[in-house]
Amino acid sequence: MLFEGTFSVDESGDGQRLDRVMEAFLPGTGLRLRRRLCDEKRVLVDGRARKPGYRVRTGETVEIKQVLQMTSSGGLGLRVVKREGGFAALNKPGGVHSAAIAGGSEPSVESFLPDLFPGDSPVLLNRLDFLTSGLLLVALTPEAREAYLAYEDEGVINKFYLARVRGRMDGIISIRSRLDTDDRKTTRVLSEPDPDHRRWTGITALSHDNAADTSLVRCLIMKGARHQIRAHLASIGHPILGDPLYGGGESRRGLMLQHLRIEMPGFQAEGIPLF
């Protein structure tokens, strides 16, 4: 279900935190989700984006933009792209959690796996950021899970993404900077190279839109770290459009990053390009 609407703050909400007042209009959502919506500038108070701790006042108008609440895998639009040899690939829309959050009430793709694969033992093998769309890989047997972990260690899994970024990019670039993902909202790009080639991001420029001054690029990673592609691209001055954390600015289509294709021994799957 997609929620989008406005409400006015009455006297009972005067002086309360924004992320608390929102609960009455997004019943069943967790505090984490409501705070994320504020951080992503999808909650406006009298037309201005506000942080979760903003104290609202009587008469102010709160606008909430496009919150997806899952009631079923069908309602979500989740679909199986391919199933073969103990593996399955699913398509995840942007704005949906990949994995279940401990202690949270927010729905996730992981929570629907038993319904999608009855009689199997499905295990989610990779995750995508909340805002990122594209392929999620599932192991349907314990043997498939062990095989995936072995492939990952060997560095023989290739994950291809599409991204639309700000500015002009040409040719092929390899971003090898090490990432610091510890206990922070954003991933920090360090000055030294990462000795593990599986943590590098390969960029191939595909096209450039002169009018908008944006480029479409293909990104290749092997064993992704948190926000790897988003942070790496921003570090070279080409943030992804619609990225609220790394300076990509607003986009009517959300974060323009899609996990399009996965390749590994015995299994390949590809989605439909969104942009």
Query: What amino acid occupies position 220?
Result: L
DSSP 194-208: PS-GGG-EEEEEEEE
**Per-residue b or e along 168-187, where b marks 16 or more CB atoms closer than 10 Å to that residue's CB:** ebeeebebbbbbeeeeeeeb
Concerning whether 129 is annotated as a catalytic residue, the answer is: yes
Quote the pTM value: 0.74
Check 19, 46, 129, 153 and give the catalytic one. 129
50-77 pLDDT, tens digit each: 999 999 999 999 998 755 444 445 556 6
- Give the strand pairing for 2-8 and 61-68: antiparallel
**No. of H helices and E strands in the chain?**
6, 16
229-268 pLDDT, tens digit each: 999 999 999 999 999 999 877 777 889 999 999 999 999 9
- Name residues whose C-beta falls within 8 Å of residue 128's C-beta, 6 or more positions apart in sequence: 92, 98, 134, 136, 259
Query: In whole angstroms, what is the distance from residue 40 CA to residue 58 CA?
Result: 24
Domains of the chain: 2-68 (3.10.290.10), 73-270 (3.30.2350.10)
Question: Comparing C-alpha atoms, which of 51, 223, 1, 241 is closest to residue 132?
Answer: 241
